[in-house]
Structure 1
Amino acid sequence: MGWTSNDYEHEGWVAAIAPDGRLSGSSTGAGILFHGITGHYEPAGEFHPDEEIIPHDLIMSWRGACTCGWQGEVWERVLTQSEADFDARKEYCPPGEGAFVSERVEDAVQDEWMIHIAPSEAILGVEAAAKEHRQAAHRLDKTVAAAKAAGASWTDIGRAAGISRQAAHERWADR
């Protein structure tokens, strides 16, 4: 499962790390899919000709990944519950089972990814506010022109706009 930013510029996920350092994109029942053919692992087949399957038991770590290239901190796989330590980024994943992190670790990775995308998410807010500002300025210009055409004075227009008569005249007289 992955996450997408509001601007669709970033998609994040928990990526399994292959023994050779490659990051996964998805998985199958037989193992985790990794882009690239090394010849050391089973080819993924005709639907994924440029990928190979690495067995779940060979996956010993995970990290957050994003389509932009960002990578989070590594989570280490441990094979006994006594070694598991969330604060030390050690996740218990028993041998013979799928190499998938717990929901708690996935949530922690998503939190890291959200920090990564926070600047672009904030920029979306700035863009939206700037657009609203331009639209409001256009509406104000049109309503001032209509008020002036209806006979309103610059004093009344300035008061309504929260500025002086002179400022209102300087701003809208030539429009």
Structure 2
Amino acid sequence: MGWMGPVVDGQEHEGWVVPLFEDGAQGAGTSSARGRLIARRPDGGPCNGDRVRLTYRDGPTAEGVWQDSTVLRGDGIVHAHTGGQVRHEVIDQAEEWRPDAAVVGWAAGCTCGWRGTPWTRVPPELADPAARRLATAGPWADLEAADEHRVRQDWCRHIVGWQALEEVEQAAAREAAAARALDDAVRAALVAGARWADIGRATGITDRSATERWSTRG
């Protein structure tokens, strides 16, 4: 993707520049000589070109290529009844690529699903970063380093809260690890013959508090 961010509660927050298209499609963060790979819409159902399996309510199944809400089988049979109680299973996803020239703007994106405010693509003579209008050199949709930095700042503002939570998680994990290490050390000291008064003095608490804290722990 691009920019590594915090991981909170198992959720990664990795950012990148998301190419935007006129019809609302978004780039997936991959480019090649074919252009920009289009991201799949979550729970958007089959897309044209996908190989799908249909399972009808009474049991029969059919496999073929999805095209405009119909399934085309290799033998030429067309299954047009693909709605209602029919279950769709995408067996193989088709890739959709679009040319760089079709990119109409950019937004900061994050793997958590967040998207920033769009930046509009304009000809070089109309570029105005203060108005969120950016240009590229030539037909390619890759931003110059300074403009990518501007887009990245949107993502940096997005992850501020997540970074703070990551620090809380890390501090809590360190505290828990230290508590386990202290428990192990106390048990070892008791086995070696230390008294509760010794344990209390070493841990900065009274011998009674030490007894209450560790005497019931195995």
Q: What is the TM-score normalised by the length of structure 1?
A: 0.76
- Per the alignment, residue 108 of structure 1 pairs with 150
Q: Find runs of 4+ consecutive structure 1 residues off by over 4 angstroms.
A: 35-39
Task: Decide which of 12, 16, 23 is 2:15's aligned counterpart.
Answer: 12
Instruction: Note if 1:71 corresponds to 2:109.
Output: no
Match of 2:196 among 148, 154, 157: 154
Q: Choose between structure 1 and 2: higher helix proportion.
A: 1
SS of 1:163's equivalent? coil
Q: Does the 8 A contact of 2:35 with 2:97 survive in 1?
A: no
Q: Measure the CA separation in 1 of the matches of 2:119 and 2:141.
A: 12
Q: Which residue in the other structure is 2:37 paired with?
A: 33
**Structure 1 gap ranges (5+):** 40-47
Correspondence for 2:133: 90
The number of aligned residues is 164
Q: How does 1:132-143 map to 2 (within 5 A)?
A: 132-143=174-185
The sequence identity of aligned pairs, in percent, is 40
- Does the aligned pair in 2 maintain the 1:37–1:50 contact within 8 Å? no
Q: Which residue of 2 aligns with 1:42?
A: none
Question: What is the SS of the residue equivalent to 2:213?
Answer: helix
Deviations 1:45-90 (A, max 9, x none): xxx833132x333322111122322111111112133x22222211
Taking a change above 3 Å as real, the CA distance of residues 50 and 166 of structure 1, as seen in their structure-2 partners, is same
- Listed as ranges, the gaps of 5+ residues in structure 2 are 40-46, 50-66, 68-92
Q: CA deviation at 1:16?
A: 1.3
Q: Secondary structure at the match of 2:149?
A: helix
SS in structure 1 of the partner of residue 202 of structure 2: helix
What CA RMSD, in Å, does the superposition of the two structures yield over aligned residues?
2.8
Question: Does the 8 A contact of 2:18 with 2:107 survive in 1?
Answer: yes
Deviation of 1:6 (Å): 4.5
